[in-house]
């Protein structure tokens, strides 16, 4: 039986299985426009749920990816949820690729305003469902690539697409964020006041061929108030997604996220971790 929460119709749990120590559940939700939202949910590995962590994949991704982030946030005591986005998942990417190829298809998809509007509805439905099952006060939005753009817009970044988020999370984490270009204008991030962690790698080049260091622009532009930037030596775009030879990258990301959130809870975001193979800046 479906359960109504606000304006969202919450769908039936469709399957349950085990992944490591955490329970890993496949959930089908129904968002505001009645389209379905596939979600993989990772139960918190603690007696008390500290909050919710929603993970938004990159273009062409799905709810079945980013296991390392789901497991990590579960280990920190969060109800973690990886969201599948219909308007920017695999089938949507194939449509954008028709007659164009992968690179041009991706370039078109990541500037599709309707795809972002769908993402925000997906996230809102997932957040409502999660908060009905977890009383913790933290709400974390994590995104990679197109998911990072989604995260930054949700946090209040200006954009060229005419879309906006709800600015309703208290912690934002962006992996492979974009600099000024087809999505964001110059100084797009200057009004973001929430805690934000951005992460990139020295081989995390932009889709259009720009150097990885353009991904540091959001950090440089955001005002001082609990902002971190992590740069992982040798990490590629797909390593940050948990693909390829990514174990070292995953470990560094998880350690950095853990330290960042610990700092927020302590009320001191200035003290960073010092690890080989990653440079961390804070302000």
Burial class (CB in 10 A: 0-12, 13-18, 19+), 131: middle
Give the pTM: 0.91
pLDDT of residue 91: 94
* pLDDT at residue 15 is higher than 50: no
Q: Both tokens of residue 87?
A: 């308007």
Q: How many domains does the chain fold into? A: 1
> 133-182 pLDDT, tens per residue?
999 999 999 999 999 999 999 999 999 999 999 999 999 999 999 999 99
The whole-number pLDDT of residue 23 equals 81
Q: Which of 19-28, 61-70, 118-127, 251-260 is least confident?
A: 19-28
Q: Report in angstroms the alpha-carbon separations of 5 from 10, 32, 140, 156.
A: 7, 11, 20, 25
Model pLDDT, residue 199: 98
Residue 18 pLDDT: 37
Q: Is 96's pLDDT higher than 80?
A: yes
Q: Print the domain residue range for 102.
A: 3-282
pLDDT of residue 248: 96
1-15, 29-43, 261-275: range with highest mean pLDDT: 29-43
Flag the least confident range among 5-19, 86-100, 163-177, 203-217.
5-19
Q: What pLDDT shows up at residue 14?
A: 38
Mean pLDDT of 257-267: 96
Q: Which residue has the higher pLDDT, 281 or 15?
A: 281
Asked whether residue 4 carries a pLDDT value surpassing 50, the answer given is: no
Q: What is the CATH number of the domain that holds 183?
A: 3.40.50.1820
Q: Specify the pLDDT at position 22.
A: 59
């Amino acid at each position: 039986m479906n359960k109504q929460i606000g304006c969202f119709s919450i769908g039936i749990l469709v399957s349950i299985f085990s992944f490591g120590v955490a329970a890993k559940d496949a959930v089908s939700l129904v968002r505001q426009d009645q389209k379905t939202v596939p979600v993989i949910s990772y139960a918190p590995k603690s007696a008390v749920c500290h909050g919710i962590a929603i993970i938004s994949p990159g273009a062409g991704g799905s709810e079945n990816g980013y296991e390392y982030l789901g497991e990590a946030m579960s280990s920190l005591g969060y109800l973690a949820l990886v969201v599948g986005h219909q308007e920017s998942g695999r089938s949507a990417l194939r449509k954008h690729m028709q007659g164009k190829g992968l690179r041009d298809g991706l370039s078109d998809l990541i500037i599709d305003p309707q795809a972002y509007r769908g993402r925000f509805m997906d996230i809102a439905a997932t957040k409502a469902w999660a908060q009905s099952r977890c009383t913790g006060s933290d709400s974390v939005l994590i995104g990679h690539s197109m998911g990072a753009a989604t995260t930054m817009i949700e946090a209040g970044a200006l954009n060229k697409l005419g879309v906006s988020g709800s600015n309703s999370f208290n912690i934002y984490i962006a992996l492979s964020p974009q600099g000024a270009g087809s999505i964001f204008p110059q100084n797009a991030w200057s009004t973001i006041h929430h805690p934000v962690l951005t992460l990139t790698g020295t081989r995390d080049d932009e889709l259009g061929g720009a150097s990885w260091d353009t991904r540091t622009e959001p950090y440089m532009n955001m005002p001082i108030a609990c902002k971190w930037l992590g740069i992982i030596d040798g990490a590629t775009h797909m390593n940050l997604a948990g693909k390829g030879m990514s174990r070292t990258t995953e470990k560094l990301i998880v350690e950095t996220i853990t330290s960042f959130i610990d700092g927020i809870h302590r009320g001191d975001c200035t003290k960073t971790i010092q690890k080989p193979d990653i440079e961390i800046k804070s302000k």
